[in-house]
Amino acid sequence: MTRVSKWMLFLCFLGLVAAGCDDGSSDSADMSVGGEGEGEGEGEGEGEGEGEGEGEGEGEGEGQNPYYDGTESARLGAPDNEAMCATCHSNDGTQDGYSGNTLKDIAYHTSFKGDDTATLLDGSNACITGWMGGTALTEESAEWAALGGYIRSISAMDQTTPNAIAPEVLADEAAYEAAYAGGDAAAGEASYNLACARCHTEELTINNRPAYSLEVLKNFPAGRIAQKVRTSGPPPSGMNDMADTTPGPMPFFELKDLPHDDLADIIAFIKQ
């Protein structure tokens, strides 16, 4: 082989080596770009996942609460209890048609239940044990952390004035009958559906017994119905009075919750 031929072979070898290095660099670059793409894709996926999770969490937070209007609320009561906080209390300031005061803006009141209890927990337990037949919650219980936390979340800290309790207490059953005579039965149907039907038409189990149906309510005297609605039973001891012939818990409706004429109409509708 001549010197020229050897030189030509050497140049070809260098060309092949250079081509191989270029290919390797190109592959490395491609791999690097591909890696960046995969990393970006994974990052985007993680970002999307975080965004979806945040959206779901926010949506759940803005909705209702199982300790207000769900099964967890009913479970605070007796084993068969179906009444929930939402049965008697709104969570948006609405009062019409509810026997209890709204839960909105109550958490920071200085007292509860007409000054009978000093803390939100004690006021809540009055409902849980008295109306729903459940066991009193404690500061350490998970149920109270959930329920109390929810009530605080819908309450303004500057709303501290307690709600006064002012049930209409007349002399006796006959006085109630006279006071609520002459109602309009036709108008009473709508008022009954708003204020009474959620328990009595559905025969909702409250504590451990169903609420009386409309047909059963017809059998009670008009005065006794009015007295029960206004005071939960004969004065002075309310629902614990043994003279109460309508057994079972029933939160009372004050005049601000159920105006005089509306109750007169409801009684006329029931008794027609």
Give tens-digit pLDDT for 75-85.
999 999 999 99
List, for residues 161-175, the tens digit of each pLDDT value.
999 877 788 888 899
List, for residues 10-32, the tens digit of each pLDDT value.
445 445 444 444 444 434 333 33
How many domains in the chain? Answer: 2
**Run of H or E including 209:** strand 209-210
What are the CA-CA distances from residue 148 to residues 8, 51, 106 (Å)?
90, 29, 11
Say if 71 falls within a structural domain.
yes
- Percent of the chain exceeding pLDDT 90 equals 51
What number is the average pLDDT over the span 54-77? Answer: 70
Say if 2 falls within a structural domain.
no
What number is the average pLDDT over the span 115-134? Answer: 91
> Are residues 104 and 186 located together in one domain of the fold?
no
> Are residues 148 and 228 located together in one domain of the fold?
no
Q: How far apart are CA 43 and CA 111, in angstroms?
A: 52
Could you tell me the pTM of the whole model?
A: 0.63
Say if 190 falls within a structural domain.
yes
What was the pLDDT predicted at 115? 82
> Are residues 177 and 265 located together in one domain of the fold?
yes
List, for residues 134-160, the tens digit of each pLDDT value.
999 999 999 999 999 999 999 999 999
> Are residues 142 and 182 located together in one domain of the fold?
no
Say if 39 falls within a structural domain.
no
For residue 112, the enclosing domain spans 66-153
The CATH number of residue 264's host domain is 1.10.760
Say if 20 falls within a structural domain.
no
Query: Do the beta carbons of residue 131 and residue 84 sit within 8 Å?
Result: no
Say if 4 falls within a structural domain.
no
